[in-house]
Structure 1
Amino acid sequence: MRRHEFQPGRLIAGLVLVVAGGLYLVESTGGADLPWFAVLPITVGGLTLAALVGLVTYAVRRDRRERITESSDR
C-alpha cells in the first residue's frame, strides 16, 4: 500500500466527530443529562479548528514545495 501524506486537519475533524458521537451515546444511555444543543458548539468549534489546521498545513507544504522548486532550478 502506498504511503500518503499526514493530514492533521482531517485527524482533528475525525476526533471531534467521534467525541460528539460519544457524548450523544453517553447521553442516550442515561450516563449524563446533556441538552441536545450542548454538542453543537463543541462540534462547530472543533471543525473550525480542523479547518484552520488544514489551511496552515496546506500553506506550509506549498511554501516548502516552492522552495524545493526554486533550489532545483538553480
Structure 2
Amino acid sequence: MRHPFEPARLLLGLLMLGAAVVALVQAHGGWDVPAWAPAAMVPAGVLLVGVLGGVARLVRRAVRARRGSGDQD
C-alpha cells in the first residue's frame, strides 16, 4: 500500500538534520555559530513547514475537486 507524499515532513526532517549537524560541528569546535542561530532555525523551520503543509493540503484538495468534477460530466 502506497502512502501519499508529504513534502512538509520531508522538509522538517531535513531542517532538523541540518540543526543537528550545526550543533555537532559547533560542539566539536569546528564552527563558531552564535547561540541564537540554532535557536532561531528551529522555530523558523517549523513555521516554514506549517506553510508548506497548508499549501500541500490546498493543492491536494484542488486536485481532488478537479478529478471529482471531471467524472460527473
TM-score range for the pair, normalised by the shorter chain length: 0.7 to 0.9
Alignment of 1:1-74 (within 5 A): 2-74=1-73
Q: TM-score, normalised by structure 1?
A: 0.85
Quote the Cα distance in structure 1 between the aligned partners of 2:45 and 2:37: 13
Q: Which ranges in structure 2 are unaligned for 5 or more consecutive residues?
A: none
Displacement over 2 Å in runs of 4+ = 33-37
- State percent identity of aligned pairs: 34
Q: Which ranges in structure 1 are unaligned for 5 or more consecutive residues?
A: none
Q: TM-score, normalised by structure 2?
A: 0.86
* Residue-pair matches, total: 73
Instruction: Kindly provide the CA deviation profile for residues 7-56 of structure 1, in whole angstroms up to 9, marking residues without a partner as x.
Output: 11111111110000111101111112223322021222222111111111
Q: Let me know the Cα RMSD of the aligned residues.
A: 1.3
